[in-house]
Amino acid sequence: MAVNTGQRQESGFKWNSFIRFTALALFALSCFLILPQAALAKGGGNPRYASIVMDADTGQILSQSGADSTRHPASLVKMMTLLMAFEAIEGGKLRLNDRVTISRKATQVIPSKLGLDAGSSIRVEDAFYALVTKSANDVAVALAERIGGTESHFAVMMNRKAKEIGMTRTRFMNASGLHHPQQVSTARDMAKLARYILTDHPRYYHYFSTRLFTYQGVTHRNHNRLMEKYDGMDGFKTGYIQPSGFNLVASARHGNRRLIGVVFGGRSANSRNAHMAALLDRSFAMLGPEILTAKAPLPARKPDQPVQLAALAIAAGDAAAPVLKGETFNEMIGEGDYDPAVSKRLETGLMAIAAHRGHSDESADRKEWAVQVGTFGSRTKTDKAIDNAIKSLPVELASAGTAMIAPLKTKQGWLFRGRLKGYTKGQALLACQYIEDCLPVSPQAY
């Protein structure tokens, strides 16, 4: 059968086009598959990624990737909000015990927030803790209004300060970090902000180290869970909104050297944390093995400062944070990374922390201390936690403690706090090195 010449040409053209398309597709796929792993580690394929590691003492840059590219900072903005408050205190315009009134505008912001009513108020210092731990947007707005009159004027003040610090690519539009298309910063600028706080306002840095904050009977846990896992990390801020990804500014100290790390655009909190840890590890290694020493203590409080109820360790400031078992998380529309859902099992030490209002060391050598090993909604779970705690202790500590249950009536029903009592302060602190989810309890907090 004869084949028309035009049909043969058309068929040949289609076949050649298919071959060319297939070849181009295979070439593109091969390019993707052979992308260097180093490029992926540096955020290749993630347009929101940027990072930097800075020596806090010298300002030396030890690692950077996209450090001057503008990104949305999310709740890293609250670092500047807090800095403005610190300087208002230094200037005599604000005091820690002043009250901050919650406006109607503040109540209307989206979560994360404390959920305070319009017309109510919160102490300035409690506002600090709410921003650091809960990343409370309503409190950020209220604090901005307290200092600047309006949040928009406060943003002008923030930008003026940013320029003074040398944050050349940053523009603040609000006090919370909730998304605004024009609110941008860079990894380098955020490192500059962190370093400024550390060097020019070191007496306030301890607020960024707060792991738990109890307010009106509810305990809020810091979103920066890397503080619990990375040796020497003792502060700064997380951030998350959908356009930014998961952000983190972190500060860690090994020996006499402190580093500031910034990561923008993490795809999850866990991957961001792992990447931050890797960046810091590599940078500390660059500084030399002589600085890789034991975890440094947090900055000391001024002698006249009371021990805050938000501090994790009732007796000692550097105890490890408890880890909740079986808790669930919801990523929020706003900030920070997530909010712990309400759970039947409350944060270990919640009630003990809430009751604490400071103490002296007069009873340190007397066996009046206890360790709390959990708070539960059932006696069975409490008994089991006490039994497990005793099994975890060396013989001398296990035999020194006496099991007790401290019941507490709440709106949700009875709670049972499992404790071992009869320790000195030193024994209580030592016992908590062996027991998971442990909190030292001073005699004043019974």
CATH number at residue 150: 3.40.710.10
Question: Domain range for residue 227?
Answer: 50-291
Active site residues: 75, 78, 135
| Residue closest to 252 by CA, chosen among 276, 268, 275 | 276
Q: Are residues 352 and 213 in the same domain?
A: no
Residue indicated by tokens 């442990």: 438
For 362, the token pair is 């007069």
For 194, the token pair is 């962190």
For 283, the token pair is 């940078």
Of 262, 291, 320, the residue at which a domain comes to its end is 291
3-state secondary structure of 185: strand
Q: Are residues 278 and 339 in the same domain?
A: no
Question: Is the backbone of residue 216 left (phi > 0), alpha (psi -120 to 50) or beta?
Answer: left
Indicate the number of domains in the chain: 2
Asked whether 118 and 107 are in contact (CB, 8 A), the reply is yes
Query: Average pLDDT by consecutive 10-residue portion of the chain (446 residues)?
Result: 48 52 48 36 74 93 95 97 97 96 96 94 97 96 98 97 95 96 97 95 94 90 91 94 95 93 95 95 82 36 32 27 30 38 35 39 67 84 86 84 82 80 87 82 70
Whole-prediction pTM: 0.60
19 is a domain residue: no
Residue 431: C-alpha distances to residues 298, 397, 439, 443 (Å): 21, 7, 9, 16
Please state the φ and ψ torsions of residue 139, each to the nearest 5 degrees: -70, -35
Q: Are residues 264 and 341 in the same domain?
A: no
317 is a domain residue: no
4 is a domain residue: no
How confident is the model at residue 327, as a pLDDT?
A: 29
3-state secondary structure of 253: strand
86 is a domain residue: yes
Q: Are residues 212 and 101 in the same domain?
A: yes
Q: Are residues 131 and 256 in the same domain?
A: yes
Q: Where are the beta strands (DSSP E) in 156-232?
A: 212-215, 218-221
DSSP state of 225: G
14 is a domain residue: no
User: How far is the first Cα of the chain from the last one, in angstroms, to the nearest whole number?
Assistant: 102
How far apart are the C-alpha atoms of 427 and 399, rounded to whole Å?
A: 12
Across-strand partners of 235?
A: 251
For 334, the token pair is 């706003």
300 is a domain residue: no
How confident is the model at residue 407, as a pLDDT?
A: 84
How far apart are the C-alpha atoms of 196 and 182, rounded to whole Å?
A: 24
How confident is the model at residue 301, as a pLDDT?
A: 35
- State the DSSP H helix or E strand holding residue 86, giving kind and residue range, or none if neither: helix 77-90
1 is a domain residue: no
For 94, the token pair is 């604000």
Residue indicated by tokens 């039947």: 344
Of 291, 317, 339, the residue at which a domain comes to its end is 291
Q: Are residues 406 and 277 in the same domain?
A: no
Residue 157's identity, in one-letter code, is: M
82 Cβ neighbours under 8 A, 6+ residues apart: 128, 131, 132, 197, 204, 207, 208
238 is a domain residue: yes
Asked whether 424 and 369 are in contact (CB, 8 A), the reply is yes
Q: Are residues 75 and 197 in the same domain?
A: yes
